[in-house]
Structure 1
Amino acid sequence: MNNSDDYFYSESHVWLEEQGDGIFTLGITEHAQNSLGDIVFVELPAEGQQFAAGEGCAVIESVKSASDVIIPISGEVIAINQQLVETPELINQEPFNNGWIVRFRSDVPMDEIAAELMSADDYDAFLDQ
């Protein structure tokens, strides 16, 4: 897999990229988008919506199934990727770039995030299990 060393990963196959000042970008991994197949619809949350760790913050529908996107840390949505409304297949094409899903603000300390989530190497090992 082409997982970036700059991101954190969860067992629910999402990635987080720290933007600074408690702001994170969230998307699904290459493995997740490959498993889903062709993505045809994304249901996005509202800006300002709050989520607890482990809650579904978006829904992705593909030709195979619908899946919740699980937020791995608590936070408040500050931006959504509006491009996904018209072009949900961006997630298939660029899961780590233009295919991001939400940006959110969290007050969870970075040391807790690093302890809870996986590095790229750890995620690759998780996938190999």
Structure 2
Amino acid sequence: MFSALRVASRPGLTTLRVARTTPVALSPRFLARTIVTKKFTSDHEAVIFDSDNAVGTVTITNYAQSSLGDVVFVELPVIGTEVKQGDQIGAVESVKAASDIYAPISGTIEAVNEELNKQPGLLNKSPEGDGWLCKIKVADEAELKNLMTEEAYQKHCEES
């Protein structure tokens, strides 16, 4: 590679030799593409689904956090709990209001964001990033079709 760069950088040289390498066998794992899909509920939850491990990261949307105001308490689900799409999985309390959180997709709670117990304000600072709520091992990927795309969700928010 470096010799090819040296040759290419020399004025007057027009031929370029490329070293021949042994082909590398790729496992199917390297050929698979991870697809990350973000879908929304009408209750202002979002799920970021990773097809590689069939896990959905549940968040509230930026619209929801701005409507709530300063978050002071977050109730998170218990790891290992089986949930169905639409089940209540937690709650958020703010200086303005309290709001339930619903499972955007069915599956098993695999992880919760314990940092929210110490810093509930993360939901205001980064609701769809550091302020994620829980991770669900998805039972049925087809349920994602029941959720809104980002464009449909934006339209839903404008109509509210």
Correspondent of 2:89 among 57, 65, 82? 57
Letter paired with 1:80: V
Residues 1:82 and 2:118 are matched in the alignment: no
Structure 1's 51 and 112: CA in aligned 2 closer, same or farther, altered over 3 A?
Answer: closer
Any conservation in 1 of the 2:55–2:137 contact (CA below 8 Å)?
A: yes
Query: Could you report, residue by residue, the CA deviation over 1:60-83 in whole angstroms, capped at 9, with x for unpaired residues?
Result: 110112111011221110000010
Residues 1:121 and 2:151 are matched in the alignment: yes
Name stretches of at least 5 consecutive residues in structure 1 with no aligned partner: none
Correspondent of 2:139 among 107, 119, 122? 107
Flag as ranges the 4+ runs of structure 1 deviating above 3 A.
none
Any conservation in 1 of the 2:58–2:104 contact (CA below 8 Å)?
A: no
User: Aligned residues: percent identity?
Assistant: 34
User: How much has 1:6 moved relative to structure 2?
Assistant: 4.7
Aligned to 1:17: 48
User: How much has 1:19 moved relative to structure 2?
Assistant: 2.2
**Number of corresponding residues:** 123
Any conservation in 1 of the 2:105–2:143 contact (CA below 8 Å)?
A: no
Any conservation in 1 of the 2:47–2:58 contact (CA below 8 Å)?
A: yes
Supply the RMSD in Å over aligned alpha carbons: 1.4
Per mean C-alpha deviation after superposition, the further-off stretch among 14-23 and 78-87 is 14-23
Rounded to whole Å, the distance in 2 between the matches of 1:72 and 1:18 is 11
Letter paired with 2:130: N
Instruction: Give the structure-2-normalised TM-score.
Output: 0.73
Rounded to whole Å, the distance in 1 between the matches of 2:37 and 2:84 is 23
Report the structure number with the largest CA radius of gyration: 2
Rounded to whole Å, the distance in 2 between the matches of 1:46 and 1:11 is 24
Structure 2 residue matching 1:91: 3-state secondary structure: helix
User: How much has 1:112 moved relative to structure 2?
Assistant: 3.6
Correspondent of 1:69 among 69, 94, 101? 101
Instruction: Give the structure-1-normalised TM-score.
Output: 0.90
Rounded to whole Å, the distance in 1 between the matches of 2:90 and 2:50 is 20
